[in-house]
């Protein structure tokens, strides 16, 4: 599904990603861990197409297409979803209008007719239950006045609405209490299938108790310095990152 | 011998026109109006047309704009057109009686005055001045002060017609009254109409005013509207400006509010070459509420200048001002808003805000909110912002599959909605929303025919 080769990216001339390699296949869950400033969020942004980052080297193939050539909206319509670490508030744009535009633009991209209002509202009702999102939030402006937990649940709600093939969840667990974390993780797990894949970016092992990864990668200083199975996350929880940093050529 | 022409100042040209056509101008107006006219022309001679040296006109040099030699409409020259051919007014719930002004003159010359149920009156200002002298005398030129504004003096000297609207004590006009200002001619024209709206104590009315150019030539308008809102009366006033790029207009709105009255006034500037809106509000009694909002969408070489003066003269009044604008291409604009809280106006609440989005590096806006407070127990705030579209929000929307262009439109529409939602005529609110969205999409690039069904 996704193949990243020797990916380098800069922001304002400063190199953040210094050669990333990894592959994601359908049905897999990958966790990317690492200390602050290691480049985790940059990787997520680059995959989603954020223009402030400049890719200087490397290649990203997504279903045999050159991902880096696509605009953010094309990537989204081709099935890539980015769950934001800090979801953006958009005053004046209602959740309903926002999601309806997104769903119908993605349908347009696929050559499908726009969804009828009644079908759309039905879909919204169904999906918001998945993350126990308050119905009142749907009539409010996007993320405006939402609590931290509501914002994160709203990300998963959007993911459920858009049914992506590859979801990249950037620190979805940060700022969540244990109940909210369970709801969010539960939503992600219900959306999991053999045809889609998830990349979970996190600081903490605790999210991985709920979303069990097939692979764990440790990102440090712009490179993946270790990859392993889910047991690697437990080891990191116990020992921290220092043992891995030793001997890494910086 | 020098062949150089002596440059005649535009002020002098208008003074000469006044003297030359004094009989035409005075003809049709009663003596009490013509007496004020004489005072006004003297005042105009002193003040002239404001130029950039005038602090309040720093960003809009009107002296230049008035130096044009456009034809003036000193008598009601009727251009025959079938109203129904041009206007398909499908905004539901508006009063079926549509009032038209053509080049500043009341259009329906056969029926200059209409009496509405409850004793309300609507019709030609010129006819009303003759038929209801006591009523007109009491209010005319009382609120639009000519001691400071040269253009108000000029309008008072020259204007002959416009719309007169009267709502007696306690009468409620259920459906909004719609007034359409049409500019249409085969040559360039300069119009100066004069409106007088009187809402007596405890009355209620809504007024919708639309400005349209229906033919290509350039037009200049210098209009004055005086509105008196009596004790505990309620006025909803919405103005929609939709003229072509060859049009320039100065609109002077003077609102006088009596004790416990409520006014909601919006000006939506959709299109126009040069627009200068002067809004003066006098909160002339305790307990008044005023909401004045404006939305302006400009592109290409358009210029918009909103000037607002809110006078808190009595205690316990509340005013809210919200002006928002989107400027594209190399459009320019200015906002200047002054809130004056007089010494005795304790417990005043006054809020003012001006927010602007510049879509390009060449677009430009000058904004100057001002508070002048002489009372000590007040709650006031003001603020202004000039910015670009929120890039984070744009990216967020794009990651959901919304194309950049659509995402921008959603953001601009949301920005504009803050003003649109202050419009209190529900059917109009929807229509304006639709028009604004179309305008932002660039679908309403010109408006010299009403095929747009915009009003």
Beta sheet of B262-271, edge-to-edge order: B105-106, B98-102, B177-183, B204-213, B234-242, B262-271, B289-298, B318-327, B349-358, B379-387
Using CA atoms, how far residue B106 sits from B176, B237, B403, B424, in Å, is 19, 20, 48, 27
CA–CA gap between residue B297 and residue B356 (Å, rounded): 10
Confidence category of residue B361, pLDDT binned at 50, 70, 90: very high
Among A76, A89, A92, beta carbon nearest to B418:
A92
Q: Which of B366, B373, B285 is nearest to B323 (CA)?
A: B366
Q: Quote the CA–CA distance of A228 and A78 in Å, as a whole number.
A: 29
What residues in A contact B396, CB-CB < 8 Å? Answer: 84, 87-88, 90
In the numeric block, the tokens 């309620």 are attached to B234
Phi, psi at residue B136, to the nearest 5°? -70, -45
Tens of pLDDT, residues B98-145 = 888 999 999 988 899 999 989 999 999 999 999 999 999 999 999 998
| Burial profile A3-26: b = 16 or more Cβ within 10 angstroms, e = fewer | bbeebbbbeeeebbbbebebebee
SS3 B92: coil
Residue appearing with tokens 């508070």: B371
Strand partners, A33: A218
Q: Which residue has the higher pLDDT, B348 or B425?
A: B348
* Domains of chain B by residue range: 10-452
Question: Cα B15 from chain centroid?
Answer: 25
DSSP 8-state secondary structure symbol assigned to residue A68: G
**Residue pair B49/B66 in contact by the 8 Å Cβ criterion:** yes
Strand B98-102 relative to strand B105-106, pairing: antiparallel
CA B87 to the chain's CA centroid:
21
The verdict on a CB contact (< 8 Å) between A84 and B396 is yes
Mean model confidence pLDDT for chain B: 90
User: Contact B395/A72, CB-based, under 8 Å?
Assistant: yes
pLDDT at B79: 64
3-state DSSP helix/strand/coil percent for chain A, to nearest 5?
40, 30, 30
A113 is written with which tokens?
């007719």
pLDDT confidence bin for B53, thresholds 50/70/90: confident
List the single residue in A72, A92, A158 with the smallest CB-CB distance to B398: A72
Rounded to an integer, what distance in angstroms lies between the CA atom of residue B146 and that of residue B351? 27
Between chains, do A88 and B390 touch, taking CB under 8 Å as contact? yes
SS3 A247: coil
Interface with A, mutate which of B353, B385, B389, B401 (most A CBs under 10 A): B401
* pLDDT for position B386: 95
The closest alpha carbon to A122, from A105, A140, A99, belongs to A99
Average pLDDT over residues B244-253: 94
Whole-number pLDDT of residue B449? 39
pLDDT digits (tens, 9 = 90+) for B136-188: 999 999 999 899 999 999 999 999 999 999 999 999 998 889 899 999 888 99
A137-172 tens-digit pLDDT:
877 899 999 988 889 989 999 999 999 999 999 998
What does the pLDDT read at residue B455? 37
Residue A84: which of B397, B391, B396 has the closest Cα?
B396
Is the pLDDT at A177 greater than 60? The verdict is yes
Q: What is the CA radius of gyration of chain A?
A: 18
Domain ranges (residues) in chain A:
2-245
Q: Which of A117, A115, A148, A153 is nearest to A134 (CA)?
A: A153
Rounded to the nearest 10 degrees, how much is the dihedral formed by the CA atoms of A11, A13, A18, A22? 40
B153 contacts: CB under 8 Å, gap ≥ 6: B40, B41, B43, B44, B47, B146
Q: Is the Cβ pair B410, A97 closer than 8 Å? A: yes
Mean pLDDT of A225-231: 90
CATH code matching the domain that covers A2-245, chosen among 3.30.9.30, 3.40.50.1000, 3.40.30.10, 3.40.50.300: 3.40.50.300
Of B347, B361, B221, B248, the residue nearest B289 (C-alpha): B347
* Share of residues in chain A with pLDDT > 70 (%): 98
Of B395, B397, B401, the CB nearest to A162: B401
Mean model confidence pLDDT for chain A? 91
Task: Please give the Cα distance from B326 to B271 (Å, whole number).
Answer: 12
Best-predicted range by mean pLDDT (A203-217, B57-71, B237-251): B237-251
Cβ-Cβ contacts under 8 Å, A98 against chain B: 397, 400, 402, 410
Taking CB atoms and an 8 Å cutoff, what residues of chain A touch B414? 90-93, 141
Give how far A229 is from chain B: nearest CA, Å. Answer: 29
Give residue A222's region: left, alpha or beta (phi > 0; psi -120 to 50): left
Q: What is the ipTM of this complex?
A: 0.95
């Amino acid at each position: 599904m996704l193949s990243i080769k020797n990916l380098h990216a800069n922001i304002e001339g400063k190199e953040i990603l210094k050669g990333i390699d990894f592959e994601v296949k359908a049905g897999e869950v990958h966790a990317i861990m690492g200390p602050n400033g290691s480049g985790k969020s940059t990787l997520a942004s680059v995959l989603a197409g954020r223009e402030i980052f400049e890719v200087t080297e490397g290649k990203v193939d997504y279903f045999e297409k050159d991902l880096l050539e696509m605009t953010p909206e094309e990537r989204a319509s081709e099935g890539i979803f980015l769950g934001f670490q800090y979801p953006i508030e958009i005053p004046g744009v209602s959740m309903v209008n926002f999601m309806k535009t997104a769903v119908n633009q993605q349908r347009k991209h696929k050559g499908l007719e726009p969804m009828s209002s009644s079908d759309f509202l039905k879909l919204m009702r169904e999906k918001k239950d998945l993350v126990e999102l308050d119905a009142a939030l749907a009539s409010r402006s996007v993320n405006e006045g939402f609590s931290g937990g509501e914002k994160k649940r709203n990300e998963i709600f959007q993911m459920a609405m858009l049914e992506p093939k590859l979801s990249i969840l950037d620190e979805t667990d940060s700022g969540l209490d244990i109940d909210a974390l369970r709801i969010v993780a539960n939503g992600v797990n219900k959306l999991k299938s053999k045809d889609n894949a998830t990349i979970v970016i996190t600081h903490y092992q605790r999210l991985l108790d709920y979303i069990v990864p097939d692979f764990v990668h440790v990102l440090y200083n712009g490179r993946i310095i270790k990859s392993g199975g889910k047991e690697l996350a437990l080891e990191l929880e116990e020992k921290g990152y220092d043992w891995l940093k030793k001997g890494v050529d910086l | 011998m020098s062949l150089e022409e002596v440059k005649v100042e535009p002020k002098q040209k208008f003074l000469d026109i006044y003297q030359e056509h004094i009989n035409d101008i005075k003809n049709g107006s009663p003596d009490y109006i013509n007496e004020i006219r004489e005072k006004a022309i003297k005042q105009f001679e002193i003040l002239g047309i404001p130029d950039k040296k005038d602090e309040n006109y720093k960003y809009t040099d009107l002296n230049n704009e008035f130096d044009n030699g456009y034809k003036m409409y000193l008598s009601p020259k009727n251009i025959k057109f079938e109203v129904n051919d041009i206007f398909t007014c499908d905004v539901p719930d508006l009063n079926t009686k549509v009032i038209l002004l053509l080049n500043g003159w009341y259009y329906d010359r056969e029926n200059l005055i209409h009496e509405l149920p409850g004793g309300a009156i609507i019709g030609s200002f010129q006819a009303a001045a003759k038929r209801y002298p006591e009523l007109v005398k009491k209010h005319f030129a009382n609120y639009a002060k000519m001691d400071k504004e040269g253009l108000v003096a000029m309008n008072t000297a020259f204007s002959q017609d416009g719309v007169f609207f009267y709502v007696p004590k306690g009468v409620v006009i259920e459906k909004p009254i719609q007034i359409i200002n049409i500019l249409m001619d085969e040559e360039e024209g300069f119009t100066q109409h004069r409106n007088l709206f009187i809402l007596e104590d405890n009355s209620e009315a809504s007024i919708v005013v639309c400005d349209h150019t229906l033919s290509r030539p350039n037009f200049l308008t210098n209009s004055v509207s005086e509105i008196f809102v009596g004790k505990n009366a309620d006025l909803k006033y919405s103005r929609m400006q939709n003229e072509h790029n060859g049009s320039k207009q100065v609109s002077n709105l003077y609102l006088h509010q009596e004790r416990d009255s409520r006014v909601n006034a919006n000006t939506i500037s959709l299109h126009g070459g040069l627009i200068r809106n002067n809004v003066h509000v006098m909160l002339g009694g305790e307990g008044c509420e005023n909401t004045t909002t404006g939305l302006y969408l400009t592109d290409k070489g358009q210029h918009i200048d909103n000037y607002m003066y809110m006078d808190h003269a009595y205690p316990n009044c509340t005013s809210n001002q919200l002006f928002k604008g989107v400027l594209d291409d190399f459009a320019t604009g200015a906002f200047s808003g002054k809130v004056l809280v007089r010494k005795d106006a304790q417990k005043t609440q006054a809020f003012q805000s001006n927010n602007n989005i510049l879509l390009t590096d060449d677009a430009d806006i000058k904004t100057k909110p001002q508070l002048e407070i002489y009372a000590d127990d007040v709650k006031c705030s003001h603020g202004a912002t000039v910015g670009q579209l929120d890039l984070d929000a744009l990216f967020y929307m794009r990651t959901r599959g919304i194309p950049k262009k659509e995402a921008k439109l959603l953001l601009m529409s949301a920005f504009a909605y803050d003003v649109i939602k202050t419009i209190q005529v529900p059917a109009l609110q929807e229509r304006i929303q639709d028009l604004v969205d179309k305008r932002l999409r660039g679908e309403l690039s010109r408006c010299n025919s009403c095929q747009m069904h915009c009003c």
